[in-house]
């Protein structure tokens, strides 16, 4: 990439739809040791949108989200190159806790709740940042309103809850830090379809409250339905991107599987 190209992304006033992007990812590559997992990924995230990332297993979706919250900065074990810019602030140079403080957080794959803490403690841990502490009790009440199922279970140890309930706790915990952007990694993994519907309803609700959402979703149809913008990844790169209304399913599945197989199946 030339410097001028880089700067265009960096200082872009206008992105998709004439709006100023909230996040600009430029030339992002990620490595596990010597193994390269992302190849010069570039995209923009507009404020208030739901961005869906789809792709087969191993396409680099999770690695991309991890890179965006600094979880790939692990010395010789894993690292990234390129830039992730949030309105002039370089997130790629921050540690995970600073990125969360800047307003970007993630609901990790497999929920990853703190198993020996209660529901309430898991949520309050989400408000650990000094800027969140004062309002943490109010925020807790807000979350119990939004997820009424927790209200009577707030003192329960989370490892005793069902998968769907745990996923809800994980979503609520992420919201406790009052984020501008939430990355959802494989929200529906291992959950019954009815529960997944519930969870996506919450995602819509969160998005309507002004939070920008980025979701990784295995179910292609669902991804196209819930999002304003779709990225299709294949082998560590973005191979197709666009408004779900403008993309037809054949286009997406051929990108998803790589063109040859996609054409064959289509």
Partner 1 sequence: MTAEAFNEELYWSVIDILNGLLTGTIIGGYYAMISIGLAMTFGVMRLVNLAHGDFIIVGAYLAVVLLNFLPISPFFTLTIVIPIMFCLGYVLQRVLLNHVSVQAMERKGLSANYGLMAPILVTFGLGIFISHVLLGIFESDARQLKNSLAFSAIRLSEDLNISLLRFIFFGLGIVILILLHLYLTRTHAGRAIRAASDDAEVSPLMGINTAHVYGLALGISMAIAGAAGVMIGMIRTFQPFDGPQFLLIAFGTVIIGGLGSIVGSLVGGILLGITQVLAGTYFGPSAQLVGGYMLILFVLAFKPQGLFSK
**182: β partners:** 105, 213
Residue 114 binds partner 1, judged by CB under 8 A? yes
- Do the beta carbons of residue 38 and residue 60 sit within 8 Å? yes
Residues 227-266 as x/- pattern, contact with partner 1 by CB under 8 A: ----------------------------------------
Contact call for residue 63 and partner 1 (CB under 8 A): no
Should residue 86 be labelled a site residue for partner 1 when binding is judged by CB under 8 A? Answer: no
Interface with partner 1 by CB under 8 A: which range of 43-51, 69-77, 203-211, 232-240? 69-77
Contact between 100 and partner 1 (CB under 8 A)? yes
Which of 97, 155, 170, 147 is CA-nearest to residue 121? 155
Nearest approach, Cβ of residue 38 and partner 1 (Å): 19
- The total of other beta-carbon atoms located within 10 Å of residue 1's CB is 12
Select the span of 18-26, 37-45, 48-56, 68-76 touching partner 1 (CB under 8 A): 68-76
H helix or E strand, kind and range, residue 81: strand 78-86
One symbol per residue from 133 to 172: x for binding partner 1 (CB under 8 A), - otherwise; what is it? x--x------------------------------------
Taking each helix axis from N to C end, the angle separating 193-208 and 163-175, rounded to the nearest 10 degrees, works out to 10
| Under 8 Å between Cβ of 84 and 25 | yes
Interface with partner 1: number of residues (CB under 8 A): 34
Residues in the chain, overall count: 266
Three-state helix/strand/coil letters over 114-148: CCCCEHHHHHHHHCCCHHHHCCHHHHHHHHHHHCH
Instruction: Point out which residues bind partner 1 (CB under 8 A).
Output: 33, 69-71, 74-77, 95-97, 100-101, 105-106, 108, 112, 114-117, 121, 124-129, 132-133, 136, 173-174, 177
């Amino acid at each position: 990439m030339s410097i001028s190209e880089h700067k265009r992304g960096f200082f872009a006033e206008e992105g998709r739809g004439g709006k100023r992007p909230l996040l600009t990812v430029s030339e992002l590559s990620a490595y596990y040791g010597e193994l390269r997992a992302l190849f010069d990924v570039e995209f923009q995230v507009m404020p208030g949108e739901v961005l869906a990332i789809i792709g087969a297993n191993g396409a680099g979706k999770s690695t991309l989200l991890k890179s965006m919250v600094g979880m790939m900065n692990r010395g010789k074990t894993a690292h990234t190159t390129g830039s992730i810019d949030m309105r002039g602030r370089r997130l790629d140079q921050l540690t995970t806790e600073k990125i969360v403080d800047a307003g970007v957080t993630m609901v990790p794959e497999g929920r990853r709740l703190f198993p020996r803490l209660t529901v309430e403690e898991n949520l309050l841990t989400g408000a650990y940042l000094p800027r969140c502490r004062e309002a943490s009790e109010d925020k807790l009440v807000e979350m119990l309103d939004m997820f009424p199922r927790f209200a009577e279970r707030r003192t329960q140890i989370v490892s005793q809850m069902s998968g769907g309930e745990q996923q809800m706790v994980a979503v609520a915990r992420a919201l406790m830090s009052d984020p501008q952007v939430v990355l959802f990694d494989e929200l529906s993994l291992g959950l019954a379809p009815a529960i997944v519907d519930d969870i996506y309803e919450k995602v819509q609700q969160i998005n309507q409250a002004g939070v920008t959402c980025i979701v990784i979703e295995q179910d292609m149809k669902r991804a196209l339905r819930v999002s304003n913008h779709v990225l299709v990844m294949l082998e560590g790169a973005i191979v197709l991107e666009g408004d779900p209304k403008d993309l037809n399913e054949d286009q997406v599945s051929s990108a998803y599987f790589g063109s040859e197989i996609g054409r064959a199946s289509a």
